[in-house]
Structure 1
Amino acid sequence: MTQISIVQLYPAELGITGDRGNVRTLEERLRARGVASTTAHVGVGEPLPEDVDIVVIGNGPLSALRGVHADFVARAQQLRSFIADDRTLFAIGGSAELLGERIDLTDGDSVDGVGVMPYRVSRTRDRRVGYITVRTPDAAVVGFEDHASEWTLTDESAAYGTVVAGRGSYSRGDARGEFVRHRNAVVGNVQGPVLPLNPALADVLVSAAAARRGLDLPDATPSPFDEYAKGARDAIERFVHDKGFKTIQL
């Protein structure tokens, strides 16, 4: 039986916003289609398994990013080849920022990024906190944003979602954008974790991994999790329109 292999990279350092929930959702969406999966946790200094289908990287503060920085940069070519091979990567928050070209800090210093995703990041003094809804070509996404950064895309074609409510991570013409997609690598700032709330986005990721493996995925069997996700999404949609978005001055 073909198995889909999942890796959560740096789970101890970059996993502060429920990022294990994103991994669990990918496992469940595969299981609902009769596809087995295996999950490995890979930390600093540990090699990635040779035949990985999906890499998930979570969020963390600047101190955690500095802690994994050297190891992350050392993996740059491997991650670049991973993406070029149409494997699936999903990163949120701090790890997503580090996958770009660089992070400019508010004190004038900067941190070199891994350089495998097409954007630069500037940390700001305005912290964007609140619920967010995003329209992507493949799924409507709801969730929570909590970040103090502005992204500048170096490849506009990588813009993946338009913000319906909230602030998002970057400008997209006269609108705001959230999520960047380069081949099968999808990254953004929607936290919470985001995939349990958005099974359709999780399905984009598992479908990409399965297609690369030559698997024809059947429809998912119904699950109570789908109803929970729908209820939570509906509540967030109502809350967004009632309360709106807040910015915290740092």
Structure 2
Amino acid sequence: MSAAGQQKPIHVLQLYPRDMNIYGDYGNALVLKQRLQWYGYQPIMHTYDPGDEFPEQVDLLIGGGGQDSGQDRIHQDLLQIGPQLRALAAGGTPMLAVCGLYQLFGHYFDPREGPRLSGLGLLDVTTVGTENRLIGNTVIQSSEFGEIIGYENHSGQTYLGDDAQPLGQVTLGEGNNDHDDHEGARHQNIIGSYLHGALLPKNPAIADFLIGTAVEREHGEQLGELQAPVTAPLTLDQLTERARETAASRPR
């Protein structure tokens, strides 16, 4: 990447880090920031919590999970910024919504206690709270991203509608629910998933999809070579693969 390319900004927005940031989800923001730098771009990191001013420019959006109480605290604000989020989604902005925000990116979430929480409808999914908690290390196979590794911990069970494709098929763990082998959802450039861990450090292919889509939309170019450091005696890719193998081998 040329010196001029190094100055090209990519604006990354993390939704609700105060209330929806559990099981290491903040690590997704850190990975995007570092990999953008390694690809020669300038990451401009934004956060948004209830009452904040929504950023004028968003090239890539991520959000994490939280307890039901966290969803309650952000729910009304999420509906208020719904028009901005729908406009971004319609324009092809890449998004990653994990766990609690994955649920609210769907049509609704029916918790075990309390009223139904209406969602944004960005993903054609619905979620129902249950007494059965799905928890443990999880591995799925994705035609788009290969083997995806993560950690799930949720009692909400999510079901896909006709306009949503699963992120992948579960080979270890439960995934969206305990009735089928689907994990996550895909629509346009939106990814929804229950996988924490955080997700992106374990799965750089997904991080690069988000980054590459943002770069192509904003700057009209493809990603170049990753200028990652070499950590002797292993390269960064080798270290990442060792970590993935270890995570995949851990018992439920």
TM-score (norm 2): 0.89
Identity across matched positions, percent: 28
What is the alpha-carbon distance in structure 2 between the residues aligned to residue 107 and residue 48 of structure 1?
A: 31
What is the alpha-carbon distance in structure 2 between the residues aligned to residue 198 and residue 155 of structure 1?
A: 27
Q: Aligned residue for 1:21? A: 27
Question: In the TM superposition, what whole-angstrom CA distance separates every residue of 1:100-122 from its partner, at most 9, and x where no partner exists?
Answer: 11111224742211222211001
In structure 1, what residue type is equivalent to 2:166?
A: A
In structure 2, what residue type is equivalent to 1:142?
A: I
Where does structure 2 lack aligned partners over 5 or more consecutive residues? 1-6
Q: Aligned residue for 2:165? A: 158
Residue in structure 2 matching 1:234, options 238, 245, 248: 245
What is the alpha-carbon distance in structure 2 between the residues aligned to residue 72 and residue 96 of structure 1?
A: 12
Q: Aligned residue for 2:15? A: 9
Q: Aligned residue for 2:4? A: none
Check 1:18–1:108 CA distance in 2 against 1; reply closer, same or farther (3 A cut).
Answer: closer
How far did residue 86 of structure 1 move? 0.3
Given that 1:15 and 1:59 are in contact with CA atoms closer than 8 Å, whether structure 2 keeps it comes out as: yes
Given that 1:153 and 1:170 are in contact with CA atoms closer than 8 Å, whether structure 2 keeps it comes out as: no
Alpha-carbon RMSD across the aligned residues, in angstroms, is: 1.8
Equivalence map 1:54-93=2 (5 Å) = 54-93=60-99
Q: Aligned residue for 1:194? A: 199
Is the counterpart of residue 50 in structure 1 residue 56 in structure 2? yes
How far did residue 198 of structure 1 move? 1.0
More deviation in 197-206 or 223-232? Answer: 223-232
Where does structure 1 lack aligned partners over 5 or more consecutive residues? 246-250
What is the alpha-carbon distance in structure 1 between the residues aligned to residue 162 and residue 95 of structure 2?
A: 18
Where do 4+ consecutive residues of structure 1 move more than 4 Å? none
Q: Aligned residue for 1:147? A: 154
Q: Aligned residue for 1:167? A: 174
Counterpart secondary structure, 2:52: coil
What is the alpha-carbon distance in structure 2 between the residues aligned to residue 60 and residue 38 of structure 1?
A: 24
Question: In the TM superposition, what whole-angstrom CA distance separates every residue of 1:188-234 from its partner, at most 9, and x where no partner exists?
Answer: 10001110111111111111111212122112124445343222211
Q: Aligned residue for 2:127? A: 121
Counterpart secondary structure, 1:229: helix
Is the counterpart of residue 178 in structure 1 residue 183 in structure 2? yes
How far did residue 133 of structure 1 move? 0.6
Counterpart secondary structure, 1:83: helix
What is the alpha-carbon distance in structure 2 between the residues aligned to residue 91 and residue 191 of structure 1?
A: 11
What is the aligned residue count? Answer: 239
In structure 2, what residue type is equivalent to 1:159?
A: P
TM-score (norm 1): 0.89
What is the alpha-carbon distance in structure 2 between the residues aligned to residue 222 and residue 101 of structure 1?
A: 40
In structure 1, what residue type is equivalent to 2:188?
A: R
What is the alpha-carbon distance in structure 2 between the residues aligned to residue 17 and residue 220 of structure 1?
A: 27
Is the counterpart of residue 136 in structure 1 residue 142 in structure 2? yes
